[in-house]
Structure 1
């Protein structure tokens, strides 16, 4: 039994920034960060493009950023949330800078602001083409200096502790439930630890691993959605999966290497397999259309031509400036024999971001008492049906701050939970075959990629539902009778996440943003080709 005032699940920008603020304000409080891999392994680390904010106020305004976000969200954004996040952006980013985060500057000493798809102005702060890695570096350095933060890598949250586990009272979904902490598997000892906490923050990141082709790291297995769903938290809009239009086409590489949206903002052009321009036929913004449109356009071109990929043409760009701005991308291409000065980059869409998630209010509070959620695992109302590029790191920062402000007011009023039972693993066996897990994991990915991908249909969704039901039943038997392992628990969450995406897709009756069903009324007829 471990007691901690604040339990943070996840070590990306949301979890780390929240933990830092709590540790600074409450010097005598204990903060525990749980992460299932290395301390810096998160979706944040792999964010290339940057973080959006209105800095050049001579040409840009909050209103323009709001308008761009609302347009990308295709009518489903919460405008009050959009305004709150965007207007708070400069202050939150200054905090990152104060913590030691570096952003590129131009010769005059001002921030070198990039432009990405869906943005009407240059407003993306970045550090080369590994902005997320730079943010992660700075935050971890600060966390290591905090004396009251306990960082536990290779620890995996199995389930949230609620009245159900504590056997305090019976509850129904959407009724008022409380969170008392989490059961956590120590990967090194293979023992389940009971962490009891006053407040718990879900900052577990994304779920891209439910698809075969994804830019997400292998840790992005929908763990937060699985935890929240089993605890009966409210979840919404997970049918809106954002597929990044330009992942490097390199069969056998996993996860897919991302060719940042900022490359198109820099002036790169998309070409079909015959090396001809095509974006002008679909959207007047061409390469700078929002991600949902560009990804669906490329998908349409691939299906129409039968080609394995399209191309991204950077040959006309200033190579010295490109190399300085995108050193990681330049080096990666060169390692594969692609000289961007004369060669086109082969690209395909890949699963990248889930726009919905665990419902939270403006204070990052979920429907479960004392449980907060920030970052990609949450549904705030900012993104709507489609996330505007480089708004995700911003959302994570603003909502982790809102969570910090709210718990600060409540800290002295919340008592440490009592009478919480420890984990019971009596009756499990240790002879589980790993091949069962690896096979089922691959099957989840195949089902989702084939039936619940960029373009869906009623028949595809029905097939996905049937196959996922079989996988769920098989996994439940395995889980109930086997010694726990991280791969087994990840599979459990992958199946849950895939099921939720499929069910929400079945219930969506209009095409919108990142959701497109062939059997529904077409919203953009140009995508017929």
Structure 2
């Protein structure tokens, strides 16, 4: 076990709650995972509250372009989907969790369609299925060409709006969990900004909390994640005593539009589905450098493609590579990828006639709050689903388009078990955790440090430098209590845990690439790094488990 000497806040400095309300279950997050959980739970418990930091539509789900993966096509099977998922996960998946995902996935997608999500159909009226990296079958269902997430979000929001018994609080940041005398969940504190139903900090007393708050993309300077993705749910859970697992496995999407060296924040994603339809990567000389790198070439798993792009960038000294999709033609672009086409043109690139500059950027957290197969964390009354959770399905590298499916499947599972496990009403107690807040002004330095030292390519010296800088930044105390400081404290909490785990994993596996340990090591590192916090001090421990991608049947591409 590795114990850090770094001290972080055990709770966030915040005003005393000025108002109090109650709900049986509070769902934090309003993407596919959160709204699915809320809709299904409302049928079984009296009062469900959905809390979201912006408006209902502002999370990561609406940005999902490619689609949702499930064995829905002729000749495809859950077993084939399982193999592709395990191979992409580089031996670090929980095989039982993967089997849950792929076997329950088709029914979950069909239920989503019944809720009103309109997926694209082929000429025969069947689901139009495409392919993305790591898949050997066409199994990606999509909507509006490249607007799958937006269509799913629309359908779920309309369903929630039609159910007045679900209370929605928008513009609300979840600050911290309130704990009962037994150490389990008794509620949470919220800060509701002026546009919300209540103003300022308040307390919601509840019997269970479902975390569906998304990822940690804003840890890095460039990401495909929206501005709200500041790791709040992971940090809140860690401070309360839950375990974070596999944080070092951050997926960098290989084809994010390069906007220049000074561009920061959310960057335009060029969906893997564009390569699934025939686009390919080239360098400045027009060389298709993915040829010979992997049997699937440009459609290799994301970690393989991201590493290949970074290697060619390092070899050539160029800040990006190129995606060539000109041969797809204007009509195809306008029908299949209208959103990407419009976005690229808004940045001065016409994919119909020009190469698209691309480089890897932070995309998805494969790790998160550790859960079992029913979304339970190790904190009584706390459940987690979607990107905030580590259910075990993604391992060291998420298979393309498995994320929306994970949110669907595991939210359904939570809704089956949680009503029978509701805790009795308990009053919150003073749990004695130390209170603190890091200055919001350090966020830029934090992001630059994480991008340069804990990004796509990692090494012991770089990770040591990152650790020292994070220690320094963590000591910068906020002079005022505001949302910027709350979010920055969450970001630095998650960054420190991520960097510590990355430093301890002395191998290259999936999306974790160590330049000084370039080979995968199943002897010493088959397993998971778990991060825990006790009153602001974190420990990282290793839980060995056999690699799950050995002796798999071969799957031929069709």
Answering whether residue 504 of structure 2 is matched by residue 507 of structure 1, we say yes
Query: Cα distance, 1:110 vs. partner?
Result: 0.7
Q: 1-side partners of 2:324 and 2:123: how far apart? A: 27
Q: What's the counterpart of residue 185 of structure 2?
A: 179
Q: Residue 392 of structure 2: SS of its match in structure 1? A: coil
- Note the C-alpha offset of 1:518: 1.4
Is 1:41 the counterpart of 2:58? The answer is yes
The aligned residue for residue 29 of structure 2 is 10
- Distance in 2 between residues matched to 1:459 and 1:21, nearest whole Å: 48
Quote the residue 1:518 is aligned against.
Answer: 515
The structural deviation recorded for 1:304 is: 1.0
State how far apart, in whole Å, the 1-side matches of 2:455 and 2:413 are: 33
Aligned to 1:156: 173
In 2, Cα distance between equivalents of 1:2 and 1:225: 24
Q: Secondary structure at the match of 1:400?
A: helix
Structure 2 CA distance, aligned partners of 1:341 and 1:136? 29
1:194–1:422 Cα contact (<8 Å) kept: no
Aligned match of 1:125: 141
In 2, distance between residues paired with 1:496 and 1:423? 19
Alignment of structure 1 residues 381-392 onto 2, 5 Å: 381-392=392-403
Bigger strand fraction: 2
Report the Cα distance in structure 1 between the residues aligned to 2:100 and 2:279, rounded to whole angstroms. Answer: 33
**Does residue 169 of structure 2 align to residue 138 of structure 1?**
no
Corresponding residue of 1:173:
none
Contact 2:171 2:193 in 1 (8 A): yes
CA distance in 1, matches of 2:295, 2:204: 53
Q: For structure 2, list consecutive stretches of 5 or more residues without a partner in the other structure.
A: 1-19, 522-558
Q: Which protein has the bigger helix share? A: 1
Distance 1:373 1:70 in 2: 22
Structure 1, unpaired ranges of 5+: 170-176, 525-529
Q: 1:355 aligns with which of 366, 369, 383?
A: 366
TM-score, normalisation: structure 2: 0.86
* Matched-pair contact (CA < 8 Å) for 1:102–1:134: yes
| Matched ranges for 1:43-82 at <5 A | 43-56=60-73, 58-82=74-98
Partner of 2:233: 224
Give the CA deviation at 1:421: 6.9
CA RMSD of aligned residues (A): 2.1
With over 3 angstroms needed to count, the CA separation of the structure-2 counterparts of 1:492 and 1:202, relative to structure 1, is same
Give the C-alpha shift of residue 44 in structure 1.
0.7
State the match for 1:466 in structure 2. Answer: 468
Count of equivalent residues: 496
Report the counterpart of residue 405 of structure 2 in structure 1: 394
State the shift of 1:18 in Å.
0.6
- Tell me the secondary structure at the aligned position of residue 507 of structure 2: coil
Identify the match of residue 388 of structure 2 among 377, 384, 387.
377
Partner of 1:415 in structure 2? 424
Q: Which aligned runs of 4 or more in structure 1 are off by greater than 3 angstroms?
A: 419-424
Partner of 2:309: 298
CA distance in 2, matches of 1:184, 1:423: 19
Question: Is the Cα–Cα contact under 8 Å of residues 178 and 428 in structure 2 kept in the other structure?
Answer: no
Q: 1:112 aligns with which of 128, 137, 141?
A: 128
Distance 1:71 1:99, change over 3 A: same
> What is the alpha-carbon distance in structure 2 between the residues aligned to residue 141 and residue 485 of structure 1?
32
